[in-house]
Structure formats: structure tokens, C-alpha cells
Amino acid sequence: MDDDLSRILAPDLIDETDRVVEGALRPRTLDEYIGQREVKANLSVLLAAAKGRGEAADHVLLYGPPGLGKTTLATIIARELGVNVRYTSGPAVERAGDLAAILTALDERDVLFIDEIHRLNRAVEEILYPAMEDFALDVMIGKGPSARSLRLSLKPFTVVGATTRAGRISSPLRDRFGATYRLDFYEEDDLAAIVERSARILEVPIDESAARAIARRGRGTPRIVNRLLKRTRDHAQVHGDGRVDEATAKAAMRQMEIDDEGLDSTDRKLLASIIQKFASGPVGVQALAAVLAEEVETIEDVYEPFLLRLGFLDRTPQGRIATEAARAHLARLGYEIPPPRRGDSDMPSLWDAPPDPGDEGAGQG
């Protein structure tokens, strides 16, 4: 798959043009925000209570796969509170002084959004502890034996942290968030509603069946369905009268090498590699990354969550396994499917219960 197609289906990759367009498509209030109903309900109470008391809202941690609306929710939180939002990311804040400058510039009750918060370095993170807990900044004055700590007061503010890897956030930092919400993949009905809303904003005439066809291939991710809508709009403009019907949507998907399940060529290559090169697995993610010439984190964050959700991939203590559903899907597409090394049912999953020590033969070689 070429770079353009790869970018379309990688929810964490976005260029400046797409950023501007996607900004226009983002909902501005909780009422406009589609999906994530439990998160919305809890946030609505948290924000209404904070606003009623005239206080900064509790710090909020949002986690889940990329492209599900974490940045959008941070913006909505600030707008619902009637305050400003400042955006940064873990890798961008390299020194404790960088974070101190950001914190001292915040107005009362402002929102500080930190994307990829799990990538904050330790020195920066330690500055954040008293800032979040006590709205204070500890500054070292001088050097050596004469150095002393000076505590500066900060205006109350709200940190909204976002991460795709909640397990990598240290316990001291995680414990300082008053509310933690997981964002899940979207259902097809919600994605179809997002496609129709975006089409209205972009002034693209679209049939309900076409919106469904795009939603079905959107990998459960709003950012991806919006990109697919834009590419489908281009296809309809060049090859038709500009209206997006179901046939046009499906033709555009075929041109982008996206199949009926929403898999792109890299997804299929990943599954085919496990099936053909490793007899359906198990195979370690490092070996898989080498075969695909991809970074391990790209496989774990971009491709695996969707394949796991579809039931096409299983993660076991021994490695990744392509399931029978994946084998059947690729077989329907004409791939050569050799017999597996062993049955999927014989291979324990990470989520299987351990054997009962009292069972006969348990733990024996």
C-alpha cells in the first residue's frame, strides 16, 4: 500500500491539510458528540458540578486506541467550562522548565491537554505531581549545598491527559487524575451518523446506504471514517456526478484496497504472514515487525486492536495467532491458506483462566 493509503487508515497519522478539515468536522459540544455514551454521561455530571461551584474540574485521563476522540473531548471540556485550552504532548515537553512555563501561563480553571502523556520523562512528571495535587510549582533556587526549594502557587487548572497506553503511566501520575475514562471503538450505527453529519458539513450529498458502507469499513474509528468520506467524495466528483451512493462508496473502497471488513493491504499482509510464514502462529511481535518492516509499536497500536476486535487475531503468551476467522476471510479473498501448526482451540489465550492445580496432570511436562 502506498503512503497515501497507509495514511488514510492509520488513525494516528495526519497531515496539516487533514488537520484543518478534521477541525471543522469535530463536534463542539457534548450534545454534538456522537457515541461514547457512558463517558459523555459521566463527563456531563463532572463538568456541570465544577461549573456550578465555579471551580476547576477534576483532572481527567482519557485512554484508548488512536482516533477515537480524545483531543476532541479535551476541547469540548474546555468549551463546556467556558475556559481556554492549551495543547501539548509528552514528547514535546522535554525539560522541567518547559512544563513550568506552560503551567505559569495558564489562567484560572484553564484546561491543559497533554497527548501521549505516558511519554513524559521522569523529571517533567515530577514537576507535574505538586502542580496537579496542590496547584503549586516547586522550583530549585541555586546549586549545590546552598540550593533551596521555593514553592510557587499556580492558578487552579485541569489536566486532561490522553494515552493509547494506560499501562505505561506511572502509578503516582495515574493516581492524581480524579476521573479516568476508556474510549472504546465505535459501533456501526454511530459511525454512520458521524459520516452523515460530516457529509452535511462538507456539503456532500450522500445516501444512507453509502454512509453505512463507509462506516462498516471505518475500523470503529471516527477519524478514519471522515478520511474515507473525503476520499469517497473525491471519487464521486471525478468518476460521477458528485453524489455518493453505495456503489460509488464501494468502488472508492476497492480503489483504496479496503475490503468489506475494513482491512487494508497491510492488515491482510500481517495476517497472511502469520498464516503462510508461521503456520498461523504463534509468532512473536518482533519477528512479525521484521517481516512487515514496521515498528513494533505501530503493529501494537494501529493494527492489532482492530484485528483483535474482529476476532482475526489472538494474543497468547507464546505470540500472535491468526484465528480460523482470519483464515476463512483470506481464503475468500483468494489467498493460499496452508494448514495451521496446531488448532487455535489448543493454544491458550492471554485471557484464558490458568489450569486448576488440582486437575490431573496439571503442571506436568
Domain boundaries, given as residue ranges, for the chain: 36-182, 188-255, 265-343
Angle 188-202/208-216 helices, nearest 10 degrees?
120
8 — pLDDT class (breaks 50, 70, 90): very low
188-255 classified as CATH 1.10.8.60 = yes
Looking at the DSSP assignment, which residues form a beta bridge with residue 136? 153
Give CA separation, 195 vs 62, 166, 210, 211, 301, in Å: 23, 29, 9, 6, 24
Calculate what percentage of the chain has a pLDDT beyond 70.
86
What pLDDT score does 151 carry?
A: 82
- Separation CA 105–CA 51 (nearest Å): 21
- Cα diameter, the chain: 76
Residue 202 has pLDDT above 90, yes or no: yes
| Catalytic (active-site) positions | 70-71, 115, 164, 223
Query: pLDDT tens digit string along 76-96?
Result: 999 999 999 999 999 999 988
Residue 292 has pLDDT above 80, yes or no: yes
The answer to whether 104 touches 137, Cβ cutoff 8 Å, is yes
Residue 240 has pLDDT above 80, yes or no: yes
Report which secondary-structure segment, H or E, holds 70: helix 70-81
Taking Cα atoms as reference points, which of 298, 308, 299, 310 lies closest to residue 217? 310
Query: pLDDT tens digit string along 245-273?
Result: 999 999 999 999 999 999 999 999 999 99
306 — pLDDT class (breaks 50, 70, 90): very high
- Positive or negative: CA dihedral 275, 278, 281, 285: negative
What pLDDT score does 160 carry?
A: 98
What pLDDT score does 301 carry?
A: 87
Burial class (CB in 10 A: 0-12, 13-18, 19+), 256: buried
Taking Cα atoms as reference points, which of 100, 94, 76, 84 lies closest to residue 157? 84
Residue 351 has pLDDT above 50, yes or no: no
- Looking at residue 180, what DSSP letter applies? E
| Residue reference for cell 484553564 | 110
Q: Which amino acid is at 67?
A: G
Residue 10 has pLDDT above 50, yes or no: no
Residue 239 has pLDDT above 60, yes or no: yes
354 — pLDDT class (breaks 50, 70, 90): low
Residue 356 has pLDDT above 60, yes or no: no
Homologous superfamily (CATH) for 36-182? P-loop containing nucleotide triphosphate hydrolases (3.40.50.300)
Same fold across 188-255 and 265-343: no
The answer to whether 283 touches 348, Cβ cutoff 8 Å, is no
Q: Which three cell numbers stand for residue 78?
A: 474546555
Looking at the DSSP assignment, which residues form a beta bridge with residue 244? 206
Mean pLDDT of 56-65: 96
Angle 208-216/246-255 helices, nearest 10 degrees?
30
Give CA separation, 85 vs 18, 38, 98, 154, 196, in Å: 21, 23, 17, 16, 28
Phi then psi dihedrals of residue 52, to 5 deg:
-65, -35
The answer to whether 303 touches 1, Cβ cutoff 8 Å, is no
Phi then psi dihedrals of residue 74, to 5 deg:
-60, -40
**245 CA to centre of own chain:** 29
What pLDDT score does 14 carry?
A: 47
Topology, domain 265-343 = Arc Repressor Mutant, subunit A (1.10.10)
What pLDDT score does 273 carry?
A: 95
- Separation CA 237–CA 129 (nearest Å): 53
**331 CA to centre of own chain:** 30
